[in-house]
Amino acid sequence: MHFGHLLAAQDVYEQYQFDRLILVPAAQAPLKPKEVQSSLEDRLVMLRAAIEWDKRFEISDVELRRGGVSYTIDSVRHFRAMFPDDELYWIIGGDQLPRINLWKDIEELARIIEFIFLERPGHPAKPTPDVPGLRLHRCDGHLIEISSSELRDRVRRGLSLHYFCPQKVINHIEARQLYR
């Protein structure tokens, strides 16, 4: 969890005036099969360390407990059952828009939830494939060019993570010798 993620969460929370914002770490993203490089437990500990003081945000470990490939549709069904009367939104990076039609059961997802996207530096929003009923909203936020893969690479090269992540996250990475 780096400052790019945290600022994006705050930007969406404030712009859309949400009652709650739930962060959902994926066990394994289906379109990023080689992305996860720390244990599920370590990722949950780092996420908790990053936001433990901020009562605006909550964490759900639904995808981590389920294990295996994390499909958004399964999590959305879970949250729909938990919050049957609420409007649900799924927040994504704008770089995911051109591939959203590849998501499992995307037409059902489009009926159940609305999507909020944030542009990512170096990845301007591209045309979105036609998905019937897809409701997209843009969040104008702070564009900070930080990627998780860049941070893992910094660790491997012995470079500092300071000013990229909260100190408690850095402490956990160092204590557990992650990403080496």
Domain boundaries, the chain: 3-174
- Give the SS3 label for residue 152: helix
What pLDDT is attached to residue 34? Answer: 66
Instruction: Report the 10 Å Cβ neighbour count for 132.
Output: 8
What pLDDT is attached to residue 129? Answer: 86
Tens digits of pLDDT across the chain (180 residues): 899 999 999 999 999 999 999 999 988 888 776 665 688 899 999 999 999 999 999 999 999 999 888 899 999 999 999 999 999 999 998 888 999 999 999 999 999 999 999 987 766 667 788 999 999 999 988 888 898 999 999 999 999 999 999 999 999 999 999 998
What pLDDT is attached to residue 143? Answer: 81
Residue 37 buriedness (CB in 10 A; 0-12 / 13-18 / 19+): middle
**pTM of the full predicted structure?**
0.88
| Tokens of residue 42, six digits | 């370590």
| Tokens of residue 1, six digits | 């969890």
Q: DSSP for 28-78?
A: S-TT-TT---S-HHHHHHHHHHHHTT-TTEEE--HHHHH-SS--HHHHHHH
What pLDDT is attached to residue 123? Answer: 67
The CATH number for 3-174, chosen from 2.170.270.10, 3.40.50.970, 3.40.30.10, 3.40.50.620, is 3.40.50.620
8 Å CB contact between 177 and 155 = no
8 Å CB contact between 41 and 75 = no
